């Protein structure tokens, strides 16, 4: 009976998952040496490889750079044709290879040793030329490729990729790399905005609706209509926030058949102790408060003083949602 596509897919996932699980036994003293050496490197981390390993090297370089470890990619084939000038005196070189026996690797390693740079081998054969020439070995040996012919790099490149991620995460922890640091390297797009955009970047562009507690309902409605935020703050003479009135408050009055007349003052219908946020908080924190409380506006206050309104639409416009 022919094997189904689903069975092939599940088998492939199983083999690659096993390759990742097997990495646990390779987290050893050499791994700790590698992390320590990279963390203390005064130069950059030059990462090299050939074939599929070169693609993995580029991904690890990208991950390192985005998490505070300056790195650069050097293709092993190009290195022996002029690109070896990339390597500087204080750099550490990570060479990635499954076999550790590729002709380009065998040419490259003696040159690197002559330069005196620390060589870290991420290799799938710890008896190989690369492993024997390196000062530190990161063992990414796999028992079987997911390829049905056990030839195409599949499980082995997955193991390399995960080993690179493990290095990056360990380095982040060792350096105390925080979300604020991450934001410095990711200023663009939604991710960047979630990490650096603050309430103070948004609310000043909005109107600042506010009324006094003794103002009649008609003036409250006029203020809300003119400022077009669906809300108005109720403040005292020093502009300290006393409460807020929203469109929802007005709808509830209608539902309860309360007459709209001048006898009703702002203080009569305002919500006391409303949800607020400080201007220095991240915009994503404002979104969290809005979602948890199922509201669309927040009053921005500092030391009790009313500064303005941040609206759900502000966050949608900025792509936070």
Do 65 and 159 fall within a single domain?
A: yes
Do 250 and 148 fall within a single domain?
A: no
CATH code where residue 205 lies? 3.10.580.10
Do 156 and 245 fall within a single domain?
A: no
Do 165 and 27 fall within a single domain?
A: yes
Do 70 and 170 fall within a single domain?
A: yes
Do 102 and 220 fall within a single domain?
A: no
Do 139 and 220 fall within a single domain?
A: no
Q: Is 190 domain-assigned?
A: no
Q: Is 189 domain-assigned?
A: no
Do 95 and 146 fall within a single domain?
A: yes
Are 49 and 57 contacting, i.e. CB atoms less than 8 angstroms apart? yes
Do 123 and 169 fall within a single domain?
A: yes
Tens of pLDDT along the chain (321 residues) come to 577 999 999 999 999 999 999 999 999 999 999 999 999 999 999 999 999 999 999 999 999 998 889 999 999 999 988 899 999 999 999 999 999 999 999 999 999 999 999 999 999 999 999 999 999 999 999 999 998 888 889 999 999 999 999 999 999 999 887 766 666 666 666 666 777 789 999 999 999 999 999 999 889 999 999 999 989 999 998 999 999 999 888 888 777 776 666 688 999 889 898 999 999 999 889 999 999 999 999 999 999 899 999 999 998 888 877
CB atoms under 10 Å from CB of 217, counted, come to: 22
Do 62 and 97 fall within a single domain?
A: yes
Do 116 and 243 fall within a single domain?
A: no
- With 0.75 as the threshold, say if the pTM is over it: no
Are 43 and 88 contacting, i.e. CB atoms less than 8 angstroms apart? yes
User: Residues 140, 143, 147, 149: is their CA dihedral positive or negative?
Assistant: positive
- Looking at 234-273, list the stretches that DSSP marks H as alpha helix, in order from N- to C-terminal side: 247-255, 266-269
Q: Distance between CA atoms of 194 and 183, rounded to whole angstroms? A: 8
Q: Which residues of 192-203 are buried (b: 16+ CB within 10 A; e: fewer)?
A: bbbbbbbbbbbb
Q: Is 168 domain-assigned?
A: yes
Query: Can you give the pLDDT at residue 180?
Result: 66
Count of domains observed in the chain: 2
Q: Distance between CA atoms of 122 and 131, rounded to whole angstroms? A: 8
- Rounded to the nearest angstrom, the gap between the alpha carbon of residue 318 and the centroid of all alpha carbons in its chain is 17
Q: Is 250 domain-assigned?
A: yes
Q: Is 69 domain-assigned?
A: yes
Q: Is 194 domain-assigned?
A: no
Do 209 and 122 fall within a single domain?
A: no
CATH code where residue 99 lies? 3.40.50.10490
- Domain hosting 127: range is 5-177
Query: Can you give the pLDDT at residue 196?
Result: 78
């Amino acid at each position: 009976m022919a094997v189904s596509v689903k069975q092939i897919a599940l088998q492939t996932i199983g083999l690659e998952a096993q390759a990742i699980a097997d990495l646990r036994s390779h987290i050893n003293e050499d791994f700790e040496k590698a992390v320590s050496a990279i963390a203390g490197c005064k130069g950059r981390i030059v990462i090299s490889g050939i074939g599929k390993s070169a693609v993995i090297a580029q991904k690890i370089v990208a991950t390192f750079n985005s998490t505070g470890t300056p790195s650069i990619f050097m293709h092993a084939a190009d290195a022996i044709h002029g690109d070896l000038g990339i390597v500087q005196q204080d750099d550490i070189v990570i060479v990635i290879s499954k076999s550790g026996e590729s002709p380009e690797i065998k040419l490259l390693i003696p040159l690197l040793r002559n330069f005196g740079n620390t060589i870290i081998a991420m290799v799938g054969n710890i008896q190989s030329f690369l492993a024997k020439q390196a000062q530190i070995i990161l063992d990414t040996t796999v028992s079987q490729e997911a390829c049905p012919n056990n030839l195409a790099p599949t499980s082995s490149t997955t193991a390399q990729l995960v080993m690179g991620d493990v290095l990056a995460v360990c380095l982040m922890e060792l350096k105390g790399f925080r979300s604020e640091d991450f934001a410095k390297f990711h200023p663009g797009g939604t991710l960047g905005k979630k990490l650096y955009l603050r309430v103070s970047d948004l609310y000043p562009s909005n109107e600042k609706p506010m009324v006094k507690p003794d103002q009649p309902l008609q003036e409250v409605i006029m203020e809300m209509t003119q400022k077009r935020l669906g809300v108005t703050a109720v403040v005292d003479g020093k502009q300290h926030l006393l409460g807020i009135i929203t469109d929802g408050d007005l709808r509830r009055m209608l539902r309860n058949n309360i007459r709209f007349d001048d006898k009703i003052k702002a203080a009569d219908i305002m919500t006391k102790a409303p949800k607020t946020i400080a201007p220095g908080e991240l915009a994503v924190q404002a979104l969290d408060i809005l979602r948890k409380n199922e509201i669309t506006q927040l009053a921005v206050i500092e030391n009790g003083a009313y500064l303005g309104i941040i609206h759900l639409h502000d966050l949608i416009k900025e792509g936070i949602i």
